[in-house]
Amino acid sequence: MSQPDPSRPAVHHLVPTPAGRTHVVEQGSGPLVLLVHGFPEFWYSWRHQLPALAAAGFRAAAIDVRGYGRSSKPAGIEAYRMLDLVADSAAVVAALGERTAVIVGHDWGANIAANAALLRPDVFTALGMLSVPYAPRGGPRPTEAFARIGGDEEFYVRYFQEPGRAEAEIEPDVRAWLAGFYAGLSADTMSPPDAPSLYFVPPGGRLSDRFPQGRAPGWLTEADLETYAGEFERTGLTGALNRYRAIDRDWADLAAWDGDPIRQPSLFIGGAVDASTAWMADAIAAFPDTLPGLVSSHLLDDCGHWVQQERAADVNRLLLDWLRALPLPAPGCPAPGWLGPAA
């Protein structure tokens, strides 16, 4: 393994993928670790992990998922199916000159990473998930399931389904909306447990009606907020929201993998006060069956949804402990070329 140079700055470049192009930010040399962000973020959510992984002897590469940042933004909901996002991830690995990679994702990125490991085990040799645990495909059509919860109120995923509806709420003041959303899901600024849930929209209301006001989470500096807001003011939110709008298509596309486990070495890190880990407690409990290669699972006390930003040092330590124990191949092998998703 070549010696890493932690002082070397991150490099930005574009690589060809089925999306058209994917923006990659990479730092370091060594075994490739592909980092996949969630909603509403972009590569920048991994800013604390890139230098830490590089200093530890890994080649860390954080992407902008299609629809975000400097990556391509195909038109139409069909372009945001999980199969396409998995194909993009595999193509990035090949474009970076590697045959295999470890894949680590947060939020929607955790879903993308899990499905990449499931569908392309030839490429993705290990899986890390942050905030959102793996739950195999199954059950009723997702939008039908979401329509049944909340009573008179509307679950946020259902609220996001209609094209243009959430955009009309968010885009007039992207900065304020993002600030409220980030605060609402952060441990130090989220509303108390007995307050109305911000994940549900009352009749005639908006998602932001229940955001905490005037409180910034400790992990989010003014410069960080300006970076996030500036990017989404430039790109809009439609590409990001189209991921939610493709969930029924995923349910149909992934029928052949219904209930399938992921067998590669895996890691899960969640926040103990994150609604995602509470809602998906059954999925975490099922890890012995759904993730037979699980190495470790961690719930961080006093941590919300944005784990790698709220608790950067802890996440870096857990990631590195896990990565160092993996049997990783030597980097630099020529890639055979992207062959598309397994089917």
Q: Would you state the structure tokens that stand for residue 342, as one six-digit string?
A: 């397994």
Q: How confident is the model at residue 151 (pLDDT cuts 50, 70, 90)?
A: confident
The answer to whether residue 21 is domain-embedded is yes
Say what percent of the chain tops pLDDT 90: 88
> Across the strands, what pairs with 296?
267
For residue 333, what pLDDT is reported? 52
Cα–Cα distance measured from residue 49 to residue 91, given in angstroms and rounded to the nearest whole number: 22
Confidence (pTM): 0.94
Please report where in the chains the tokens 């968010």 appear, as a residue.
170
The answer to whether residue 158 is domain-embedded is yes
Q: How confident is the model at residue 280 (pLDDT cuts 50, 70, 90)?
A: very high
Cα–Cα distance measured from residue 289 to residue 238, given in angstroms and rounded to the nearest whole number: 36
Say what percent of the chain tops pLDDT 70: 94
For residue 68, what pLDDT is reported? 98
The answer to whether residue 5 is domain-embedded is no
- Nearest Cα to 331, choosing from 30, 19, 54, 16? 30
For residue 332, what pLDDT is reported? 52
Number of domains in the chain: 1
Q: Would you state the structure tokens that stand for residue 9, as one six-digit string?
A: 């700055």
Q: How confident is the model at residue 272 (pLDDT cuts 50, 70, 90)?
A: very high
Query: Catalytic pick from 107, 250, 253, 274?
Result: 107
SS3 of the chain: the string is: CCCCCCCCCCEEEEEEECCEEEEEEEECCCCEEEEECCCCCCHHHHCCHHHHHHHCCCEEEEECCCCCCCCCCCCCHHHHCHHHHHHHHHHHHHHCCCCCEEEEEECHHHHHHHHHHHHCCCCEEEEEEECCCCCCCCCCCHHHHHHCCCCCCEEHHHHCCCCCHHHHHHHHHHHHHHHHHHHHCCCCCCCCCCCCCCCEECCCCCHHHHCCCCCCCCCCCHHHHHHHHHHHHHHCCHHHHHHHHCHHHHHHHCHHHCCCCCCCCEEEEEECCCHHHHHCHHHHHCHHHHCCCEEEEEEECCCCCCHHHHCHHHHHHHHHHHHHCCCCCCCCCCCCCCCCCCC
Cα 197 → chain centroid: 22
The answer to whether residue 177 is domain-embedded is yes
CB distance 71 to 65 below 8 Å? yes
Q: Is the pLDDT confidence value at 4 over 60?
A: no
The answer to whether residue 314 is domain-embedded is yes
Q: How confident is the model at residue 330 (pLDDT cuts 50, 70, 90)?
A: low
For residue 331, what pLDDT is reported? 58
Print the domain residue range for 303.
11-324
Mean pLDDT (whole number) for 53-66: 98
The whole-chain average pLDDT of the chain stands at 93
Query: Residue 259 contacts by C-beta under 8 Å, 6 or more apart in sequence?
Result: 136, 137, 138
Mean pLDDT (whole number) for 182-202: 94
Tell me the Ramachandran region of residue 4: left when phi exceeds 0, alpha when psi lies from -120 to 50, beta otherwise.
beta
- 302 is annotated as an active-site residue: no
Mean pLDDT (whole number) for 312-318: 98
- CB half-sphere exposure, 242, CA atoms < 13 A: 20
Mean pLDDT (whole number) for 267-284: 96
For residue 54, what pLDDT is reported? 98
Q: Is the pLDDT confidence value at 16 over 50?
A: yes
Q: Is the pLDDT confidence value at 103 over 50?
A: yes
Q: Is the pLDDT confidence value at 237 over 60?
A: yes
Q: Which of 6-20, 24-38, 74-88, 183-197 has the lowest mean pLDDT?
A: 6-20
Q: Is the pLDDT confidence value at 183 over 50?
A: yes
Distance spanning both ends of the chain, measured CA to CA:
34
Mean pLDDT (whole number) for 145-164: 93
For residue 9, what pLDDT is reported? 86
- 260 is annotated as an active-site residue: no
For residue 293, what pLDDT is reported? 97
For residue 214, what pLDDT is reported? 84
Q: Is the pLDDT confidence value at 340 over 50?
A: no
The answer to whether residue 313 is domain-embedded is yes
The answer to whether residue 229 is domain-embedded is yes
For residue 328, what pLDDT is reported? 75
CB distance 87 to 20 below 8 Å? no
For residue 79, what pLDDT is reported? 97
For residue 1, what pLDDT is reported? 32
The answer to whether residue 42 is domain-embedded is yes
Mean pLDDT (whole number) for 82-91: 98
User: Bigger pLDDT: 220 or 151?
Assistant: 220
For residue 265, give the CATH number of its domain: 3.40.50.1820
